[in-house]
Amino acid sequence: MVPKRNQTLGEFIIENQNSFQYSSGELSKLINAIRLAAKVVNHEVNKAGLVDIIGLAGDTNIQGENQQKLDVFANEKFIQTLTNREIVCGIASEEEDSFVSINSHDENHQNKYIVLIDPLDGSSNIDVNVSVGTIFSVYRRVTPVGTPVTLEDFLQPGHKQVAAGYVVYGTSTMLVYTTGDGVNGFTLNPALGTFYLSHPNMQFPEEGTIYSVNEGNYVHFHPGVKDYIKYCQMEEENRPYTSRYIGSLVSDFHRNMIKGGIYMYPKSSVTQSGKLRLLYECNPMAFLAEQANGLAIGGKNRILDIEPTELHQRVPFFCGSRKMVEKLQEFLAKYQ
């Protein structure tokens, strides 16, 4: 199916519904609900500087991080929208201690999908008017339909994802997602409240010239990562590369996918598992990357092959243009 530029997201969802295997319209409804929640959160993010919504909510999440008010708001909106519409059987969020099981009140409509979300990614950027995002990941449950979901439904390897995507609340707001058939990006026309297909069939350029890493942590990195960073900075061929790091994974990934680049959040001597969460951040981004001709690894191995052991698990994450990730792998292999 060839995506038509300027098609609305609503039209695109309807036209593509039949391309899903065993389609019952459930996944389409789910993407529609995410579209709606994204618009509500977008509206709130856009007025963040105007009202008393920025700043800390005075609470910490399960991982001991400060929660921003917009984190709380986005978390509530996404969970509410998906719960009220009874289109998923379970939700896990970066901001919640445990997963939520949703019982459908309609006996004929027993849902089979579970969703994992990072409701607001890059939240330290809100107070300074820099782009933030939302990341989502969808799986088919593994336990029987009609029974309460269990942890097992959420701890699936990333290659089992049926859909994943992100919203970037940037200079314009975009929803970018995949259902395993390429990646398409939709830009919100804020005057109409409608997303239009602006970036059909998005692809990472094979090779790029941007590297994104929090270089302040350099001294703590693995020697393979240090060597690769030095390689990026060397004056040779198309190098030195450009260094760009926003600190919102969604925005850094989005830029790299359009321009060609690599994103790195390695483990270090202080954060042994890295910082990014496998289920809410790395898996959905890795699925998008592979669908867009890029690569995502956690060290030696493919991110999508990791068997999760816990809900809030963190892993090292390297993702981007194919040739750049392969080059990094060569450097990592030297020390293995």
Q: Which residues are at the interface with ligand AHG (CB under 6 A)?
A: 94, 118, 121-123, 214, 247-249, 275
247 binds, among ligand AHG, Mn ion, none (CB under 5 to 8 A by kind): ligand AHG
212 binds, among ligand AHG, Mn ion, none (CB under 5 to 8 A by kind): none
Side-chain half-sphere CA neighbours of 6 within 13 A: 0
The CB-nearest residue to Mn ion is: 121
For residues 76 to 95, the per-residue mask of contacts with Mn ion, x marking binding by CB under 5 A and - elsewhere, is: ------------------x-
**What is the smallest separation between the CB atom of 281 and Mn ion, expressed in angstroms?**
5
Q: Where are the alpha helices (DSSP H) in 234-315?
A: 249-259, 283-291
214 binds, among ligand AHG, Mn ion, none (CB under 5 to 8 A by kind): ligand AHG
- For residue 302, the 8-state DSSP code is B
180: left (phi over 0), alpha (psi -120 to 50) or beta: left
Q: Which residues contact 328 (CB under 8 A, 6 or more apart)?
A: 224, 225, 228, 262, 264, 297, 318
Cis peptide before 266 (omega within 30 of 0): no
**Interface residue with Mn ion, options 70, 118, 232, 315 (CB under 5 A):** 118
Q: Which of these segments, 42-50, 115-123, 177-185, 256-264, binds Mn ion (CB under 5 A)?
A: 115-123
Q: Are 262 and 242 in contact (CB under 8 A)?
A: no
25 binds, among Mn ion, ligand AHG, none (CB under 5 to 8 A by kind): none
Gyration radius of the chain over CA positions: 19
Q: Are 212 and 225 in contact (CB under 8 A)?
A: no
Q: Are 166 and 122 in contact (CB under 8 A)?
A: no
At 223, list the tokens: 């020697």
**Interface residue with Mn ion, options 31, 34, 75, 121 (CB under 5 A):** 121
Helix (H) or strand (E) holding 322: helix 322-333
> Cβ closer to ligand AHG: 121 or 153?
121
> Cβ closer to ligand AHG: 9 or 266?
266
Count of residues binding Mn ion (CB under 5 A)? Answer: 4
